[in-house]
A and B are shown apart, each in its own frame.
Chain A
Amino acid sequence: MKFTRFATIAALVVAPLMMTSCSQDADTASDSSVALTEGVMVTNQWARTSPMATTMGAVYFTLNSVKDDVLTDVMVDGTVASAAQIHETVMATADSTMMGSGSTAAPAMTMQEVAEVALPAGEDVAFAPGGYHVMLMMLKSPLKVGTDIKVTLVFKNAPEQVVTVPVLDEAP
């Protein structure tokens, strides 16, 4: 799902009409839906509801940076979860996987923390089920549909952003 340059610019123009948060201020974190011509655009953000007795949560979104950048950290308020980490679901290595009998056993997948995620200029980088996600560790209380949480995204170059993330049953 690569955006062309034109599409990227168009997306930036219509961004305020979408569920979007963009970098605005180079000096302070922003919580804004104002589109700019530089920075990182965040779209399709959502967190999965967690009424099901789990203490872990996941946040998803799509990032599109005008210039080459790197997502270096994620943070969440301590009232939501103990910590937030960038995780990626990957295929488990063979030596760490206890397979069922035979070579046709379904491959195992696991999560691993990643230090940073490259954001090539103009490309959509999806945080989506089965891939990158922000893992919320030890939720303080269940994430309920209809509520929002704030997640801070830290970039190597662009200013950090506080993104308002709605809690949903499924991807928007």
Chain B
Amino acid sequence: MRRLGISIGLIATVLMGCGGSKGSLIGYVPVSKSVASVTATEATSAGNKPFSFVPAARNVLVVYFGYTNCPDLCPTTMAAVRSAKKMIGNLASQVDLAMVTVDAQRDTGAVLNKYLSSFSDRYHALIPADDQELTVLKEAFQASSSITTNTLGNVEVSHSGTAYVVGPTGDVVVEWPFGLQADSMAKDLRSILEELNSDKGK
């Protein structure tokens, strides 16, 4: 498993290099990253509507940038989030999930909603209305992506594999690099939610 270890280690090193840990959280804790002011386009059965990245009181929102034809990174992370929610019992009801597609040309609202329903009972299919909206979202989260077409005409998508956990103030409270295991995600979620449920929670 040498190559996999190198890949995950590199990502973790890059992410950890500029930040740190907070309390007992396992993921990377950004110094300051608010996404409260940005708005996305959510595709619902009733049509598109604005989406705010500020979850309800005592809730957290897990945000991921990916695409449905991604066979490796995206379902691995989504499945880990699903497992983490199972591990935290009733607290899972306070965890919401949103995925921003970086491949809006191919990911329709119906497709992305069906995709997310496989991983969570609460989810939001976010399909940027245009490249500018996607750019604003990526800048807010400091995510990255690109789409190119190779010489054979195949679409090649690159994207960051980080999952972002947003708290009720609209601040990113922890970031999970690709490869973080579900039990680590569960520990982070439990720590965050128990604090939110205490008197210190908002």
B-binding residues in A (CB < 8 A): 1-2, 48, 50-58, 62, 87-92, 96-102, 104-111, 124, 126, 128-133, 135-136, 169-170
Contacts and interface: CB of A to CB of B under 8 A. Distances in A.
Nearest to B146: A98
A108 B115 contact: no
Given A87-B72, A99-B144, A133-B72, A51 B138 contact: no
B119 interface: yes
Interface in B148-181: 148, 156-162, 175, 177-179
Nearest to A92: B158
A56 B139 CA distance: 29
A152 B72 CA distance: 20
B142 A108 contact: no
A106 B111 contact: no
B69 A54 contact: yes
Interface in B6-38: 7-8, 10-11, 14-15, 18
Contacts of B110: 53
Contacts of A132: 3
A105 B4 contact: no
Interface residues of B, number: 52
B73 A130 contact: yes
Given A48-B75, A128-B1, 16 more contacts: A52-B68, A52-B114, A54-B71, A57-B71, A62-B1, A88-B3, A97-B144, A98-B138, A104-B142, A106-B144, A106-B160, A107-B10, A107-B160, A108-B158, A126-B2, A126-B4
Nearest to A107: B14
B118 to A, nearest CB: 4
